[in-house]
Amino acid sequence: MSSFNTIEWKDNRVVMIDQTKLPREETYVECRTYEDVADAIRRMVIRGAPAIGVAAGMGIALGAVNVPADDRAGFVSEVKRISGVILGTRPTAVNLSWAVKRMLRVLEEGEGGVDELKAILVKEARDILDEDIETCRNIGKAGAGLIRDNSAVLTHCNAGALATGGYGTALGVIRAAVEGGKNIKVIATETRPFLQGARLTAWELDRDGIPVTLITDNMAGYIMSKGMVSAVVVGADRIAANGDAANKIGTYTLSVLAKTHNIPFYVAAPLSTIDFDCPGGDSIPIEERDSREVTHINGTSIAPEVNVYNPAFDITPNENISAIITEKGVVEKPLAVNLSKLRG
């Protein structure tokens, strides 16, 4: 396990490590209302698909705990409204809507009055967190065998403990390989513009004593061409039914480079990231974020006032993915056929 808590439920508050401040400061944000949680998701105080799912569940639970209504119908309608606000925070990671649906299901099916429903919602949110940590461990176990001893694994963005309830998906695979005694070096891309690789992946691996080398995004092709990368492992924000995967902007570029250099390219993600209602990558909504993420670093302007385009994610087509690592095992090609066998 990692030596910090990404998110936890504490005395009817949601406490999360502030990922906008890492690695300079390790501080924690205490959310007292569902609006605080919604704001934290939008500002990326908490980010990463599974972690956003956990935050969504806890945001709804927090909102529910604070609803003053004492009649069931009034309570249910207010919690549904709160869920709509949480749902609207970020569009790409499907784990968010997955968690909202899960919370709404227990809201509809839960028995008893308002107090019982509040307790049921808090338990469900905490279960989402606990299950996510277990899921990541199982992703790690499933994928560790794909990683060779004495190898260098490139990862993009942050798909680690910070992006999940704990342990991580892509970094979970790496952690499990290291725990199994393998000598693994990680190459982390800095991941412009939000710098999740430089600020977060480098921080959490270094803190856990896993050797990490940081590169800028535009160095990946060169080091692949020099035979310095044995495998690429990334996370995902949404995987379509045909295996196309949305992940942090730049992932597609890495997949093309990996294919050119015959390097295996793995996507590690929980089943909650698979959107079977989405036929292919073209149907996945891509979030566009504020231009200041591109034009400024730590509040300092690095560019003139010109037009900026800032898509936060891209789509890696299924043909560029060697396999998808889930908590139920490694999904091999053909991805569409083999993913459909996992549909619950």
Q: Which residues pair with 270 in a beta bridge?
A: none
Please identify, using beta-carbon distances, which residue of 137 and 248 lies nearer to ligand MRU.
248
Establish if 284 lies at the interface with ligand MRU (CB under 6 A): no
* # residues contacting ligand MRU (CB under 6 A): 17
∠ at Cα 157 (152, 162), nearest 5°?
100
Q: At what angle do helices 72-87 and 49-65 cross, to 10 degrees?
A: 150
Shortest Cβ distance from residue 74 to ligand MRU (Å)?
34
How near is the Cβ of 280 to ligand MRU at its closest, in Å? 19
Nearer to ligand MRU, 60 or 254 (CB): 254
Nearest approach in angstroms of CB 160 to ligand MRU is 7
Please report how close the Cβ of residue 113 comes to ligand MRU at its closest, in angstroms. Answer: 37
Query: Please, what is the minimum distance in Å from the beta carbon of residue 310 to ligand MRU?
Result: 11
Taking the least distance from each CB to ligand MRU, the nearer of 124 and 237 is 237
Distance (Å) of CA 190 to CA 96, 132, 187: 25, 26, 10
CB-nearer residue toward ligand MRU: 48 or 63: 48
- The C-alpha atoms of residue 290 and residue 136 are separated, in whole angstroms, by 31
Cβ distance to ligand MRU smaller for residue 110 or 244:
244
**What string of DSSP letters covers 117-161?**
HHHHHHHHHHHHHHHHHHHHHHHHHHHHTTSPTTEEEEE-S--SG
CA distances from 207 to 127, 184, 226 (A): 27, 15, 28
Of residues 110 and 165, the one with the C-beta less far from ligand MRU: 165
Please choose, out of 8-16, 25-33, 41-49, 298-306, the segment that lies near ligand MRU by the rule CB under 6 A: 41-49
Of 95, 99, 165, 96, residue with least CA distance to 137: 165
Contact pattern from residue 227 through residue 266 relative to ligand MRU, giving x for each residue in contact according to CB under 6 A and a dash for the rest? --------xxx---------xx------------------
Among 174, 312, 315, 325, binds ligand MRU (CB under 6 A): 312
Where b means 16+ CB within 10 Å and e means fewer, 171-201 reads bbbbbbbbeeebebbbbbbbbbbbbbbbbbb
CA distances from 209 to 146, 179, 226, 275 (A): 21, 11, 26, 35
Count the alpha carbons within 13 Å of 120 in the hemisphere toward its beta carbon: 18
Interface pick for ligand MRU out of 6, 48, 177, 239 (rule CB under 6 A) = 48
Judged by beta carbon, residue 166 or residue 264, the one nearer ligand MRU is 166
Site string for ligand MRU, 120-139 (x = CB under 6 A): --------------------
In the bound state, the residue with its beta carbon closest to ligand MRU is 235
Is the sign of the CA dihedral 314, 320, 325, 326 positive or negative?
positive
Q: Smallest distance from the beta carbon of 119 to ligand MRU, in angstroms?
A: 29
Q: Which are the catalytic amino acids? A: 237
- State in angstroms the smallest separation of the CB of 158 from ligand MRU: 6
- Round the CA-based radius of gyration of the chain to a whole number and report it: 20
Q: Please report, as residue ranges, which positions from 151 to 210 form the binding site for ligand MRU (by CB under 6 A).
A: 157, 159, 163-164, 169, 196
Backbone torsions φ then ψ of 144, nearest 5 degrees:
-55, -35
Q: H or E segment at 30?
A: strand 28-31
Q: Which residues bind ligand MRU (CB under 6 A)?
A: 47-50, 93, 157, 159, 163-164, 169, 196, 235-237, 247-248, 312
